[in-house]
């Protein structure tokens, strides 16, 4: 286990061999990587463990340099484990290069069916027993999708959990994929309208960009096609605290360079926000995180695309002069045609969208009897996770306390310099 030092921290690499399919423990195994972080000078102390579950799906764990952000607060009390969930980061990769080695599209889809929260939690349980022993319990910190995983953990294996903190990630326990997106489109519309109220000139800029994209075939530096619908997907930026300002600065650079089209600088910025090259599983598995056989027995079925027809105001070609609405955290089938990182996975994604009989991820009965202390930050009008769903779930989990705030957006854990985590820790301890 390699160990090295950063300013104020000691870091140890861990690699674990886990079953691809936990129902077949003697079958194929894959590797899961995790990074242990402890405050310098405390590496020999018997500190409680805090497992961090990253947002996503398909997001690797943070790469800290010293005691930065929320990690600084966590290291006051814990030995932290930053998990690269299966298929991400330094764990066995799953992307357009490695997946074809599995065989044809149905074989690849069958492989990826084991990459949801249920498998991630079972990985964590094997890791817990290896690091802490059978009787050891650790704390959980779940950000966004990591919060979804935390609720799965409390449903599947609460005996391994000492306490849990959730930031922007309380899922609807019984929400269908269609219901998720019916709630999401109005939230996104409010965020876009708020952006245009803040930067009125951006409405004309977006309309001009969309008009140009309808008339010209525009390619991003990496070869992907920038369509009007792809450009609308930049609205995903509006769910973070500084996202509106970042989007405004991006749009400032959209002035076209004569007949040649947009500048490379502008197109490079757009590509950095739209490309899934660094996180293909986010796109491939995104809707599957809402699949549960008892809730949606017929699968997820490209729910964001099918529900979009119910919200014609998001049509970029509206006949009226209303501002063009951007979209948010939605994955559409056409993304697998315009993004070179996703194109080889188009059939795989379609098979997953049509897959039926996804195992349930949550056990409402067990959560109603929960005895693990849980504190959750719920961000008022969170663009990515529905606040009403989050509060309904909070009421359904015994012993779960919420802090509802509009001081932060969805990225509050990352940008609050430890304030969000500190408040949740004090809530669990009964100090607030």
d(CA 70, CA 80): 11
The answer on pLDDT for 260 being more than 60 is no
Residue 62 carries which DSSP code? P
**Do 254 and 201 touch, CB atoms closer than 8 A?**
no
Positive or negative CA dihedral for 83, 399, 162, 406? positive
Q: Cα–Cα distance between 252 and 74 in angstroms, integer?
A: 38
Nearest to 164, CA basis, from 15, 408, 432, 374: 374
Domain residue extents for the chain: 3-173+362-428, 177-353
First and final C-alpha spacing in the chain: 39
Long-range interactions of 65-68: CB distance < 8 A, separation 24+ = 65/6, 65/7, 66/6, 66/7, 66/8, 66/9, 67/7, 67/8, 67/9, 67/39
pLDDT of residue 17: 98
What are 401's two structure tokens? 């306390």
Q: How confident is the model at residue 355 (pLDDT cuts 50, 70, 90)?
A: very high
Report the pLDDT value the prediction gives residue 1, as an integer from 0 to 100. 79
Mean pLDDT in residue range 298-310: 96
Burial label, 289 (beta-carbon count in 10 A; 0-12, 13-18, 19+): buried
138: enclosing H helix or E strand? strand 138-143
219 phi, psi to nearest 5 deg: -115, 140
Residue entry with tokens 């195992």? 359
Distance CA 147, CA 169 (A): 4
Answer whether residue 196 shows pLDDT above 80: yes
Q: Is residue 51 very low, low, confident or very high in pLDDT (cuts 50, 70, 90)? A: very high
Strands 225-226, 374-379: pairing kind: unpaired
Return d(Cα 261, Cα 268) in angstroms, integer.
13
What band does 321 get if pLDDT is binned at 50, 70 and 90?
confident
> Residue 258: which pLDDT band, with cuts at 50, 70 and 90?
low
**Angle ∠(376,286,374) on CA atoms, nearest 5:** 15
pLDDT attached to residue 52 = 98
CATH class of the domain whose range is 3-173+362-428: alpha beta
Q: What angle do CA 186, 282, 179 make, to 5 degrees?
A: 30
Q: 353 with 347: CB under 8 angstroms? A: no
Q: Is the pLDDT of residue 115 over 70?
A: yes
What's the rounded Cα separation, in Å, for the pair 268 and 248? 15
Catalytic residue numbers? 144, 357, 410
Q: How far apart are CA 283 and CA 380, in angstroms?
A: 26
Q: pLDDT averaged over the chain?
A: 96
Collapse the DSSP code of 417 into the 3-class scheme (helix H, G, I; strand E, B; otherwise coil) and give the result.
coil
CB 256 within 8 A of CB 262: yes
Q: pLDDT band at residue 60, thresholds of 50, 70 and 90?
A: very high
């Amino acid at each position: 286990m390699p160990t090295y030092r950063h300013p104020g921290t000691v870091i140890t690499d861990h690699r674990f061999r886990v079953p691809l399919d936990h129902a077949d423990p003697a079958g194929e195994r894959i590797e899961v990587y995790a990074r242990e972080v402890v405050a310098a000078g405390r590496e020999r102390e018997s500190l409680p463990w805090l497992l961090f579950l990253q947002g996503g799906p398909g997001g690797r764990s943070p790469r800290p340099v010293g005691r930065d952000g929320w990690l600084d607060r966590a290291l006051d009390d814990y030995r932290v484990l930053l998990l690269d969930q299966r298929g991400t980061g330094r764990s066995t990769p799953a992307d357009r290069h490695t997946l074809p080695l599995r065989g044809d599209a149905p074989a690849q889809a069958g492989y990826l069916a084991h990459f949801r929260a249920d498998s991630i939690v079972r990985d964590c349980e094997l890791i817990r027993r290896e690091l802490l022993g059978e009787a050891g319990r650790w704390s959980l910190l779940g950000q966004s999708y990591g919060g979804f995983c935390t609720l799965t953990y409390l449903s599947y294996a609460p005996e391994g959990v000492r306490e849990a903190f959730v930031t922007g990630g309380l899922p609807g326990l019984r929400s269908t994929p269609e219901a998720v997106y019916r709630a999401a489109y109005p939230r996104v519309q409010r965020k876009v309208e708020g952006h245009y109220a803040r930067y009125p000139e951006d409405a004309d800029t977006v309309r001009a960009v969309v008009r140009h994209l309808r008339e010209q075939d525009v390619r991003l530096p990496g070869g992907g096609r920038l369509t009007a619908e792809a450009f609308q997907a930049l609205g995903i930026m509006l769910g973070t605290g500084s996202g509106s300002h970042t989007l405004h600065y991006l749009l400032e650079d959209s002035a076209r360079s004569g007949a040649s089209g947009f500048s490379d600088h502008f197109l490079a910025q757009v590509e950095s926000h739209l490309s899934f090259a660094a996180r293909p599983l986010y796109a491939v598995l995104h809707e599957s995180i809402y699949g549960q056989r008892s809730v949606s027995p017929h699968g997820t079925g490209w729910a964001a695309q099918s529900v979009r027809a119910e919200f014609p105001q998001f049509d970029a070609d509206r006949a009226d002069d209303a501002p063009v609405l951007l979209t948010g955290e939605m994955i559409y089938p056409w993304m697998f045609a315009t993004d070179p990182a996703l194109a080889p996975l188009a059939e795989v994604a379609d098979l997953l969208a049509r897959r039926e009989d996804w195992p349930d991820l949550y056990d409402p009965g067990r959560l109603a009897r929960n005895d693990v202390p849980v504190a959750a930050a719920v961000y008022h009008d969170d663009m990515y996770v529905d606040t009403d769903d989050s509060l309904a779930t909070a009421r359904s989990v015994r012993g779960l306390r919420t802090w509802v705030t509009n001081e932060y957006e969805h990225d509050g854990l990352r940008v609050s310099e430890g304030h969000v985590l500190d408040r949740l820790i004090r809530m669990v301890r009964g100090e607030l």
